[in-house]
Chains A and B, each alone.
Chain A
């Protein structure tokens, strides 16, 4: 018998990276939509917060649910990041070689991968801050408290950068994931790829618009509340 020595670990790592990426991307897709409930008014966002705190299930608020959710997301985030790091250029030589190739080649999908690397790297910082804050202060989520955090806590620059990073990373990731495993290939896989790319671009645009509108609304509410407090203090 021939000497078989290959480990099954590369298969596990590949699948785990894809599964964690898929779950995180789906979480982002839902998260931004839930967050956008603020566009329907503070009341809608308040109801959304109560829902996630289990109010409609238990009859009282349990912000700990948000903390548990945060721990799960953090775990997925860490595993995904640790596995994705295997693929990114780890030395200056590798980075320079890839960058040279990318610039010379001017190939859309190769460049998209670099966008994923850069946005993924940025999320190490931006995402960690956001997740930690949510886990540590789960009861401070709501239309007014969130708005206060965005404006007075100076979180809006972080959320603005995070929005672009997370949307680009998630949708490029979903597009590449589908191609990586051959999902939705259909009878004409080239045509399917073109369609998926169009969907990816449209989704990025839509989600950035929705995210910006939501963030703008929080900023507006936060500024308004701040102004009212100033006026009250002056009276």
Chain B
């Protein structure tokens, strides 16, 4: 049987460690022999094991679940662990995700950004009555279809790919991004969250929120979990416009979340 010789991959990695004094951004090139079923995660481990032990990159689950290994793969945000080299050309350029604080090489501090976003958008269930927040209380049953819809959006792994693929965020660093808007859509669907649309308007009813989205669709196209981001942003936009154009948002009876949470 005539076996084809394995492909030689050229891996260009943008290297820079802001914590090393005098270090300057540069590109390091590595030659790797492709193996069947090889992912970029395997490539990076190979490089660290056999070529350069100082290469920094993040990974935990190796299965597209934790969202740690998000990076720019030939300019497009994606997860290293779920990207097969067979789908890529011979030359692969890797760079850290933009927007996020750089830890070093391909490793970024997306957790810090996500925490800030979650705190800002208060991405947790809000309930008025204290007894409703008793963790020992048995929850009300939820309609299975609604539950499925909520947990479809809850599949977000906060990998940061949508943030890095968003042109709006590149220009406006205060924009909450598709990840933030998806979270709001998820809580709005949840009957356990007693916030009203006016409360959500308070969080996302401006140019840093849903009205800042320029519908560039980058978020939608790079989401590794294939979440319906654009559809949910459109849904939120419609809801927020209804509130903005009809309700007196300054007099609405909104949740008291300042002191309670």
Contacts and interface: CB of A to CB of B under 8 A. Distances in A.
Contact of B76 (A1, A6, A106): A106
Chain A: interface size category: 35 or more
Contact of A179 (B76, B170, B215, B218): B215
Interface string A80-97: 000000110100001001
A2 B257 contact: yes
A109 B255 contact: no
A101 B98 contact: yes
A182 interface: yes
Interface stretch (B109-117, B135-143, B148-156, B231-239): B231-239
B18 to A, nearest CB: 19
Given A11-B243, A107-B221, A181 B211 contact: no
Contact of A87 (B214, B218, B235, B253): B214
Given A113-B216, A189-B230, A14 B75 contact: no
A195 interface: no
B75 A104 contact: yes
A4 interface: yes
Contacts of A1: 253-254, 256
Nearest to A179: B215
B5 to A, nearest CB: 30
B215 A105 contact: no
B206 A10 contact: yes
Given A107-B165, A189-B231, A14 B218 contact: no
B237 A98 contact: no
B231 to A, nearest CB: 5
A122 interface: no
B193 interface: no
B234 A101 contact: no
Interface stretch (B56-64, B79-87, B244-252): B244-252
Interface string A174-185: 001001111001
Contacts of A229: none
Contacts of B217: 107, 109-110, 179, 193
A14 B211 contact: yes
A58 interface: no
Contacts, number: 115
A154 interface: no
B245 A8 contact: yes
Nearest to B256: A2
Given A113-B216, A181-B237, A4 B202 contact: yes
Interface in A2-44: 2-8, 10-15
A110 B218 contact: yes
Interface in A204-230: none
A155 interface: no
A3 B221 contact: no
Given A2-B202, A113-B167, A193-B217, 7 more contacts: A2-B256, A10-B244, A11-B201, A102-B167, A110-B216, A179-B215, A182-B235
Interface of B: 72, 75-76, 98, 165, 167, 170-171, 198, 201-202, 205-207, 211, 213-218, 221, 228, 230-231, 234-235, 237-238, 240-241, 243-245, 249-250, 252-258
